[in-house]
Structure 1
Amino acid sequence: MTKKIVVLGVSGSGKSLIGSNIAEKLGYPFFDGDDFHSQANVDKMRKGTPLTDDDRKDWLATLNTILTDNPTAVIACSGLKPEYRVMLRNGLDDVTMIYLKGSIDTIWQRHQNRDGHYFNGREMLESQFATLIEPTDEEALVIDISQDADQVLSEALTLLANQ
């Protein structure tokens, strides 16, 4: 089984929940990518301003360092574009990516039930969907998030075990 896992998806897709649950089940450390954004990035997102590629560059490098420095790890990270995913994998050949795929309507409903997150507004979510270039089946294990979280977790663990 892969020892380094990145759980991908737009904000509200369940990356943190599913990623932390995978980590717990496997006994791996969990790192929420949101915790590693610079204050400038957090301030931008709080104002509803989408991040640029340049804003994300140092953040992605930090997450790559976490993967590099830990023998096992699960990271939750949006990974919206192929080039971001390449940056996350840089220098590593043992990273499995899991993409949590869902519709904007499903994810927006979940957003409306979140408290205390700096991600601000439907426009920000729409901007993530506009930026998103979905991973291919060759690039990531793809899981439909229209099912409940327990089913998503179960499917993720089964897919990981079958690699």
Structure 2
Amino acid sequence: MTKKIVVLGVSGSGKSLIGKNIADKLDYPFFDGDDFHCQANVDKMRQGTPLTDEDRKDWLATLNTILTDNPTAVIACSGLKPEYRAMLRKGLDDITMIYLKGTIDTIWQRHQKRDGHYFNGREMLESQFATLVEPEKDEALVIDISQDASAVLNEALSLLSKK
């Protein structure tokens, strides 16, 4: 079984929920990437301003350090572009990425049910979809999120057990 897991997807895809549940099942520590954004990034997102590559650089380096410094870890991180995923993987061999794939309509419906999250508005979600370069099948395990959360979790655990 892989020791380092990154759960990828746009905001509202279920990264935190699925990542936390995977971590609980495997008895690995869980780190929500959102918790490691600097205040300037949080403020931008609250205002509905999408982050730039430059905004994400130090954040991704911090998440890579968490993966490097922990013998086991599950991290939830959008990982929207191949270069972001490469930054997360830097210096690591034993890492598995899980991409939670969904349509903008499915994810927007979920967003509208969230309370208190700083990610602000449909335009922000659309910007994430515009930035997204979906991982290839050899880069990440791909799971369709149109099914319920327990089915997504079970599929993730099943696929991870084969790693």
Any residues of structure 2 matched to 1:1-163 within 5 Å, and which?
1-163=1-163
Q: Deviations over 1:71-115 (max 9, x none)?
A: 000000000000000000000011100000000000000000000
Q: How many residues align?
A: 163
Counterpart CA distance in 1 for 2:69 and 2:4 is: 11
The structural deviation recorded for 1:7 is 0.1
TM-score by length of 2: 1.00
Counterpart CA distance in 2 for 1:162 and 1:68 is: 23
The 3-state SS of whatever aligns with 1:79 is coil
The 3-state SS of whatever aligns with 2:20 is helix
Give the aligned residue type for 1:92: L
Give the aligned residue type for 2:52: T
Taking every aligned residue pair, what percent have the same amino acid on both sides?
Answer: 87
Q: Superposition RMSD on alpha carbons, in Å?
A: 0.2
The structural deviation recorded for 1:162 is 1.0
Give the aligned residue type for 1:15: K
The structural deviation recorded for 1:132 is 0.1
The 3-state SS of whatever aligns with 1:142 is strand
Counterpart CA distance in 1 for 2:130 and 2:93 is: 29
The structural deviation recorded for 1:116 is 0.3
Counterpart CA distance in 2 for 1:159 and 1:64 is: 23
The 3-state SS of whatever aligns with 1:110 is helix
TM-score by length of 1: 1.00
The 3-state SS of whatever aligns with 2:22 is helix
Give the aligned residue type for 2:65: T
5+ unaligned residues in a row in structure 2: which ranges?
A: none
The 3-state SS of whatever aligns with 1:98 is strand
Counterpart CA distance in 2 for 1:111 and 1:136 is: 26
The 3-state SS of whatever aligns with 1:10 is coil
The structural deviation recorded for 1:148 is 0.1
The 3-state SS of whatever aligns with 1:86 is helix
Which segments of structure 1 move beyond 2 Å, counting only runs of 4 or more? none
